[in-house]
Each structure stands twice: as structure tokens, then as C-alpha cells.
Amino acid sequence: MRSASVGISPLIVVNRNSGTPLHRQIYDAYRGAILRGDLHPGQQIPSSRILTTELQVSRFPVLNAYAQLLAEGYFESRVGAGTFVSASLPEQLMSVVQAAASPAQIPSGARPVSRRSLRYPTFDRLHTMRGWGAFGVHQPAFDQFPFQIWSRLVARHSHSPQANAIHHIDPRGSEAFREEICAYLRTARGVKCDTQQIMVVSGSQQALDITTRVLFDPGSRVWVEEPGYRLERIILAAAGCHLCPVPVDSEGIDVSAGIKHHRKARAAFVTPSHQYPLGSTMSASRRLQLLNWAQSSGAWIIEDDYDSEYRYESQPIASLQGLDANARVIYIGTFSKVLFPSLRIGYIVIPLDLIDKFVAVRFAMDIFPPYLYQEVLADFMRMGHFGRHIRRMRQLYRERRTALVKSLKDEFGDSVQVHGAEAGMHFVITLPNIASDKEVTERAAKERIWLLPLSTCYSGEKKRQGFILGFGSTPAGQMARAVRKFRAILDSAT
């Protein structure tokens, strides 16, 4: 049921100088709003007393108008509850309502939009948003999240907030939360930072947007991993940057190839802990080579460290930022994987000399991040729930990953190649004879199997066909069945 604006008065403008009596103006305004569909059946109407105050008229015209609307069946009153738009408007009236529901505005005439807006691809619901279930990438084990603890913390912080919680805060976010993030990054990720360098953002996506605004001009050349993270490329392309795809192999981005073909780039965007999507970890020698190139050519490195909490075969690998002696790395992290994506909370670790620039851009963008969940998350971390959750999930995802790899091997034997299953919540598979991974993805979606086509991660012409499979949200016991379903879809497509 639509619940729009209970108790909100509709926009009624009365004109005391008009020849039309006030009660008629009020009546016409309500009737018109109902016929246009602005007020919907069952919606509560403010009491005559409230409307009288808001319109600053005497009570009689309001009472008169309400009486007439009641008599004609536009309104109904429910004892003890108030006055409502009739839940069942007369049929004759409904046909008028439907006719009136056609768009009230028809776009016409010149309608200029920015060139920049044309550089964004049309939004489609393809990958992440279609459905919940088998192989959904970016889907955590939602049912395992400690919502009881979480809701207690939300209640605590909503119950009697401090004045600073409902007032403006630093554009970088809550100090207490930034302290927690800073301590976590220093301890768990080997990041070199202090609290003033941390900026809380609405997920990595906003981090990338702010970073792009600070660092790049139209025409700036930026290395992007090939294949790589599509949403980063969208931001760079929209900013007018020149994308320089650099191949990745088992050691991460091929720095020599990058230097050979695009030495003069302004920056490199990399996922060194867990290359997206192929899953390799950048080797130590590549890390040093990349840092050396950046220092010698005055370039920046954007490190997207999106899911490094989950490693299954080896110890977590320290961040690239922690190796950097020259403050060339902008480090970006997120709670989307480790907690859940709808939190929309991530962070940037900003080199000291760039803090003012990042703050200026952020302030112009959305002034500062929403406060409540920052405080909740600060407590969640301080009280040890965050660390516990990571440890539990690491075990759970390890089981889910192992079950998925086994089910794939059972079903496809040696013909399936699994890439990068040592970490994270997804891996890539390639199979022979896949003509179009996009087409298979479309078919699979009809069966509620949520694949992500590997080919969409390439920016160049040469695209490898394959699938990114998430295993975060599917229990180990359900993997074999899901893989059999996937197999049947593939068989019917080839």
C-alpha cells in the first residue's frame, strides 16, 4: 500500500481577492488533486483544524469544503482515525482519474544536456541488481550478519543523539569513526595513515568520483586494468579521461607493458590485493616497479582494496600504499563486501598534501557523509563485532568457495578453468565454446541464476568470454544444484 505523505497538506493556494468563495477553492483544489492522481485512494487528509491553521483561513470554508467532498464520495471519514481520500472512488470517477493519469508533462522543444552526461552509459539493471541468489556477485551472506547487535547500536545512537549528530560535521566524516578506520587499516592492511587522512564516503564509487575530480583533467591518461572494474572506467570516461588499458596476468597489472605503451600517464588504477575480476595478487616486484614508475613520472596510483579481508590460501597481503615512500597512492576501501553494499560506506586515505583538495571537492559534492551509520559502525568496530564478523565470514566463504569449485569440477571436469579462487567472494570461470557470455547471462537470469559476463570487464576489442561467479550468498549445500542448473542453461545455449 502506498503510504505517501500521511498528514501532509496538499498544495492549496487560496486567493482571498478572487471572486470564487474560499470553500469552493478548497473543494476544487482537493477534487483536482484526486482526479490528477496526486492524492491516491486511502490517503489520509489533514484534519480541518490543521488545514485551517496552514491556510490561515477561518474554519467554516474548510468544514464546508470537506462536507461537500464527503457528500460526493471523494472523501470518507473513519471513526477515530480521521478523513481519507475514498478507498473506492466511484467507477465513473475512476475513468476520469485514469485519463488524468496520463503524463501531465510532455517533453518538447530544445532540451540541451551536458556533453559529459552523454558519456555515461545508459543505466541497466544487468549485473548487480536483478536478483538475489546463486552466483550473485557482490552478495554477502546476508543471513549471517549480526543484525541484532547492529539494531541495538542503531537504537542507541538514534535514541538520544548528541547535538553534533544532527548538525554539520567535518566533510571527511565523524572523527570517532575515522579513528576506528585508521586503526583498522594500520593494523590489518599495513596502511600508513593518521586520522586526518581518512575521508568517509558513500562506497568506493564516490571515492573514485572524488579522486577523479581532484586528480584528472579532460584528456588525462589513466592506466586501467584489462580486464578491470567497469564502474571505475565509467567515472574516468565521464570525466573525459583517456583510458589506457594495460593487460593483467598472474602477477597483476603488467607494468612493463604500461610503461612501454603509455609512459606519460597521469595515474594507474589498480586492484593489487585481489585483481578484479581475474583474482591475481600483484607480486612484490610489480609493486615496486609500479611505485618506481609513479615516482619517476610524477603519476598517481589509485589502489582499490575492496575485499582483501577474505583470503583463503595465504595470509592477507599488505596494501600497496604501505610500501609507498613517496605518498603517491590514494587508497580506497569499502564496507560493501565485508558488511553489506547498501550501507554505502567506504573511505579514502588521502596523501597529506592533497587533503585540502579532497575536502574542497567533497564539500561541494554533498557537504559531508550521513552521520548515524558512521557512529554505529564506529561502535561495531570498537566493540570487536567487526573483527568477529570477518573471522566468521572468512570461514563461511571458504566453505562456500570450496563447494562451488568442487561442484564445477564435478559437472564440467577439466574443461572448466577457475581463475582467482584464493580470495574474495567471487571468482572467474572460463569454458570452451562460449560464443556469447552476455547471451548466456541473459538466459540464466530468466532461471534466476545471476551470472556476470567476463567480456564486460574489457575495454578493448579483444574480450575473453567467461563468467564471474559470486559465492557469498549461496549456502555450500545448494551449490551442486545451482551448478547443474547453470550447466543445463549452457547446454541449451550451445
User: What are the residues binding ligand PLP (CB under 6 A)?
Assistant: 138, 203-205, 229, 271, 276, 304, 306, 334, 336-337, 341, 346
CA 146 – CA 150 distance, rounded (Å)? 6
- Shortest gap between Cβ of 442 and ligand PLP (angstroms)? 21
In contact, 456 and 230? CB cutoff 8 Å: yes
- C-beta closer to ligand PLP: residue 32 or 247: 247
**Residue 180 Cα distances to 334, 391, 487, angstroms:** 14, 18, 45
- C-beta closer to ligand PLP: residue 25 or 139: 139
- Shortest gap between Cβ of 231 and ligand PLP (angstroms)? 7
User: Which residue reads 559529459 in cell numbers?
Assistant: 116
Question: What order of strands is seen across the sheet that includes strand 44-45?
Answer: 44-45, 82-85, 75-78
- C-beta closer to ligand PLP: residue 124 or 414: 124
Amino acid, res. 374:
Q
- C-beta closer to ligand PLP: residue 89 or 181: 181
User: Looking at residue 450, what DSSP letter applies?
Assistant: -
Per-residue b/e over 255-288, b at no fewer than 16 CB within 10 Å?
bebbbeebeebbbbbbbbbbbbbbbbbbeeebbe
Query: C-alpha cell of 395?
Result: 570461514
Q: Which of 91, 132, 310, 116 is closest to 218 using CA atoms? A: 116
In contact, 156 and 165? CB cutoff 8 Å: no
- C-beta closer to ligand PLP: residue 129 or 166: 129
Give the count of alpha carbons within 13 A of 343, CB side only: 30
Query: C-alpha cell of 450?
Result: 545471476
Three-state SS at 252: strand
- C-beta closer to ligand PLP: residue 204 or 407: 204
- C-beta closer to ligand PLP: residue 207 or 215: 207
User: Which residue reads 471513526 in cell numbers?
Assistant: 79
- Shortest gap between Cβ of 228 and ligand PLP (angstroms)? 8
Nearest residue to the partner ligand PLP, using Cβ: 203
- Shortest gap between Cβ of 277 and ligand PLP (angstroms)? 8
- Shortest gap between Cβ of 271 and ligand PLP (angstroms)? 5
User: Looking at residue 414, what DSSP letter applies?
Assistant: G
**Residue/partner pairs of 283-288 with CB below 8 Å, 24 or more apart:** 283/251, 283/252, 285/251, 286/251, 286/252, 286/253, 286/255, 287/320, 287/323, 288/323
- Shortest gap between Cβ of 466 and ligand PLP (angstroms)? 16
- C-beta closer to ligand PLP: residue 197 or 271: 271
- C-beta closer to ligand PLP: residue 227 or 346: 346
- Shortest gap between Cβ of 306 and ligand PLP (angstroms)? 4
Query: C-alpha cell of 418?
Result: 577457475
- C-beta closer to ligand PLP: residue 205 or 407: 205
In contact, 427 and 315? CB cutoff 8 Å: no
Q: Phi first, then psi: give them for residue 45, nearest 5 degrees.
A: -105, 140
- Shortest gap between Cβ of 472 and ligand PLP (angstroms)? 10
In contact, 449 and 488? CB cutoff 8 Å: no
- Shortest gap between Cβ of 471 and ligand PLP (angstroms)? 14
- Shortest gap between Cβ of 164 and ligand PLP (angstroms)? 26
